[in-house]
Amino acid sequence: MKNNLLDYDLNSLTAWFAEMGEKPFRARQVMRWMHWSGAANFAEMTDLAKSLRAKLEEKAQIGVPALMTSQESKDGTRKWLLDVGTGNGVETVFIPESDRGTLCISSQVGCALECTFCSTGRQGFNRNLTTAEIIGQLWWANKALGATPKDERVISNVVMMGMGEPLANYENVVRSLSVMLDNHGYGLSRRRVTVSTSGMVPQMDRLKEDMPVALAVSLHASNDAVRDQIVPLNKKYPLKELMGACRRYLVKAPRDFVTFEYVMLDGINDKAEHARELLKLVEDVPCKFNLIPFNPFPNSGYDRSSAENIRVFRDILQQAGFVVTVRKTRGDDIDAACGQLAGQVKDKTRRQQKWQQLLVQQ
């Protein structure tokens, strides 16, 4: 079977070329062709000798996910469903803004963490994505979006906030981050690449040492009792441990704060008392808050917090001196908003079937 060169970062690609008796600069050339130029085959790599191109054709491929569907929202948000084989598809979302273009990338087919307010978590889990399938989303979107008239890339920021828990697919995610940050890959700044986690404490400590990029934590609750219910991972790594990991991460982080994401669920976590509890929880963790109005999906069992509750919650945090944003709901008309990504998952956990049985019983 041919090696997919999108599975390699510069170090591993250099080692692979060395095994073939080729010099290290060949790996840099091929990286630039694949990621700068979006080359999909070796024939395009015109500064490589024909004999090397023939050798690469024999031993390797540039295997990118195929497009299944493409949608564009009325607000300019774009969503692509990409085929990752055996009936599975993952969703990737591009969000254009006046000062940046952000690509939201998936790391798994489905998700195993079962956060109760997330449609990705509701549909079950199939497998981790390979490095090629992760970086292939950036490759594909870069190609689809093209460049500006000044030849600047449209994608300026990447967030690992799509389907899946990135730190549950640690090795492949870190290798993908290496390609994103490498000047022979996509040349993105560590400050412009964000990994979002639900709170996998040991992996947060590893990421701090291996590839410290900007960190976002899906917090969603101000106490363990609520978080145990809506983010089951909290039973393994409760809030005290999670806050400790956040403090440790900031020692090497490219930004001097953690972003806490907080989905606003009516009557669950959106009261003034929750906001005040939150202030005590994070008092020694430099942070900012991103409040996310809940994006409904069928049979979720939750409602979006009222605009007034969100305003009061935000004001309490702001008055204590924190930077707080209320996320605009982008792309919800094409189910591309936060928590709505569903992809196409052959569910190994049979979670969808269990949910249907539960709904029938009710």
Kind of pairing between the strands at 89-97 and 258-264: unpaired
- Catalytic, out of 104, 111, 287, 338: 338
Degrees (nearest 5) of the Cα angle 280, 286, 288? Answer: 85
AA identity, residue 163 = M
338 belongs to the catalytic site:
yes
Tokens of 29: 């050339």
Residue from 101, 210, 108, 239 nearest 231 by CA: 239
161 and 194 Cβ atoms separated by less than 8 Å: yes
Degrees (nearest 5) of the Cα angle 118, 119, 122? Answer: 95
115 belongs to the catalytic site:
no
- Catalytic, out of 91, 133, 165, 261: 91
Active site (catalytic) residues: 91, 338
